[in-house]
């Protein structure tokens, strides 16, 4: 599925994404004490930064994966950068206290790859689709599988003419 074939479009503003990411932090605050965050790039970078600030988590790592082509079509999951061996071997990091954060869980295929790398991590996303729910522990908003989310970094402000063109 891509933005051209999705039957529903869900544009998210920076303000809304910040509010939803902060709501994710509130929900996670009651679930434990977190020692580290692994952000799934690129979409997980912004919510990971917001959650890290809100929960005072200072250790932030990335795992870099690619699952979409330039045509926004889902393809094979490619691991571009693994989780740092230093983090995985750090005696101060308890894997049950590690958050893995992404913007969205769609089919769950990306999170399946990440969960193999760090199986005890708590997976949190801002948005979730039904096919991916088995691969996420905490999320804020569920959207239908046929919805394409336009994140704020995918869009820009532009003039939209009124319905009545004489109103310009």
Q: Catalytic positions, please?
A: 102-103, 106
Query: Residues 6 or more apart from 46 whose CB is under 8 A from it?
Result: 17, 21, 103, 153
Q: How many CB atoms lie within 10 A of CB 33?
A: 10
d(CA 50, CA 53): 5
d(CA 43, CA 132): 16
């Amino acid at each position: 599925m891509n933005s051209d074939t999705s039957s529903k479009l869900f544009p998210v503003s920076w303000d809304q994404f910040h509010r939803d990411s902060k709501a994710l932090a509130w929900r996670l605050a009651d679930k434990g004490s977190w020692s580290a965050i692994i952000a799934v790039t690129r979409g997980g970078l912004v919510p990971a930064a917001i959650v890290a600030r809100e929960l005072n988590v200072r250790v932030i790592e990335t795992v870099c994966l690619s699952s979409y082509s330039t045509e926004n079509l889902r393809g094979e999951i490619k691991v571009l950068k693994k989780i740092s061996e230093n983090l995985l071997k750090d005696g101060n990091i308890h894997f049950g206290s590690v958050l893995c954060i992404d913007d969205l869980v769609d089919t769950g295929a990306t999170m399946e790859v990440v969960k193999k790398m760090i199986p005890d991590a708590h997976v949190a996303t801002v948005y979730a689709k039904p096919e991916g729910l088995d691969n996420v522990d905490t999320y804020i908003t569920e959207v239908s599988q046929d919805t394409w989310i336009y994140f704020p970094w995918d869009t820009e402000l532009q003039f939209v003419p009124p319905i009545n063109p004489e109103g310009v």
